[in-house]
Amino acid sequence: MGRYLQNTWYQAGWSGDLPPQGNLARTICEVPLVFFRTAEGTATALLDRCPHRFVPLSAGKVGPDRITCGYHGLAFGADGRCVHNPHGPILGALAVRAFPVIERHLAIWVWLGEADLADASLVPDLSYIDETPPLARITGYMPTAANYQLLADNILDLSHADFLHPDTLGGINTTAKSTHRQDGERVIVDWLAEDCVPPPAFRATLHGAERADIWTEVVWQAPAVMTLGVAAMVAGTPRRAEDEGYTLHNMVPETATTTHYFYCATRRFRIDDEGFTAFLKVALAQAFTQEDKPMLEKQQQRIGEAEFWDLQPVLLRIDGASTRARRLLEARIAAETPAG
């Protein structure tokens, strides 16, 4: 059993993952959840375990305003209370735990901790997703058999691109100027590769220029929500807002060794270019599924059940941001766990 931050919003899916009449089963932090929509369309989450004989409610039927267990027909409303018992009276104790849910930034968010603390203002601000026209944004989901903090390390140290993605993204970050800092509860790391040969993935805003200045920045917040900003400029020219792209990388723990990886790529350039969006969609999925994911899964297999720090990892200069993020998350988890 891992220990996870409880009082926080976890992304459970994209809004489109939850159709009006269907349900979505997702385990988050080892808690099995079932999501469904009320007749009005409001997303709701219950523990995905019938209190009678413990089958998953997600194996049952949705609607209207309820989910009905597929085994013996108990039905539960959005608040988790039993609304129908075909075998007798509805007793007060007949209920299943309900969890606070919010739909925002095209995503469904769930709160596993104390319901009283579920404050909507704590949903990460991803307004760049809402501000991007649909044609210029790409949402994706890539389940990965590795711990979510290993996936966060991967984004917080982009020098790996030079070795793992040499044909598309890599070749600039190991030698780039890089700094990291903490800003309140966030960790910010940036790279500036000046006067470099632009890797293929960065050529879209360069109009054929042979040399570029490439700026990359990752902003992390607990538990593992990251926004990666990037801009490629013709060498020697200033960075312009209209050349920037921002991508969400949100690593949501499923279990100690599996992760729901949600991403959403947005850009401010070529926003009407559907062909470019299609190209990016394939390129993103390819880099991840063929390069990052296999390496991260092999990494998890080598680590096995061991605690990361117990293995005494060698710390390099490139690990500054990820180490800081891990420490911040550990402190947050420790602060909400009663001592003893």
What is the distance between the alpha carbons of residues 102 and 88, in angstroms, rounded to a whole number? Answer: 34
Task: Decide whether 87 or 177 has the Cβ nearer to ligand FES.
Answer: 87
Task: Decide whether 88 or 340 has the Cβ nearer to ligand FES.
Answer: 88
Task: Decide whether 42 or 289 has the Cβ nearer to Fe ion.
Answer: 289
Task: Decide whether 50 or 62 has the Cβ nearer to ligand FES.
Answer: 50
Segment near Fe ion (CB under 5 A), from 82-90, 126-134, 213-221, 291-299? 291-299
Cβ at position 73, least distance to ligand FES in Å? 6
Cβ at position 66, least distance to ligand FES in Å? 13
What is the distance between the alpha carbons of residues 149 and 265, in angstroms, rounded to a whole number? Answer: 21
Binding mask of the shown chain, residues 154 to 193, with x at each position contacting ligand FES by CB under 6 A: ----------------------------------------
Applying CB under 6 A, the site for ligand FES has a residue count of 9
Cβ at position 244, least distance to Fe ion in Å? 20
Nearest partner of 104 among 90, 121, 92, 87, judged by Cα: 121
Nearest partner of 250 among 152, 159, 169, 161, judged by Cα: 152
Residues 6+ apart with CB under 8 A from 192: 176, 177, 178, 213, 214, 215, 216
Residue from the set 103, 157, 243, 292 that interacts with Fe ion by CB under 5 A: 292
Applying CB under 5 A, the site for Fe ion has a residue count of 1
Q: Is the dihedral of CA 94, 97, 102, 106 positive or negative?
A: negative
- Contacts to ligand FES from residues 41-100, by CB under 6 A: 50, 52-53, 55, 69, 71-74
Residue with tokens 């709160």: 111
Cβ at position 53, least distance to ligand FES in Å? 4
Cβ at position 33, least distance to ligand FES in Å? 16
Beta bridge partners of residue 37, listed in sequence order: 43
Q: What single-letter amino acid sits at 215?
A: W
Task: Decide whether 49 or 105 has the Cβ nearer to ligand FES.
Answer: 49
Task: Decide whether 244 or 292 has the Cβ nearer to Fe ion.
Answer: 292
Cβ at position 99, least distance to ligand FES in Å? 19
Applying CB under 5 A, which residues contact Fe ion? 292
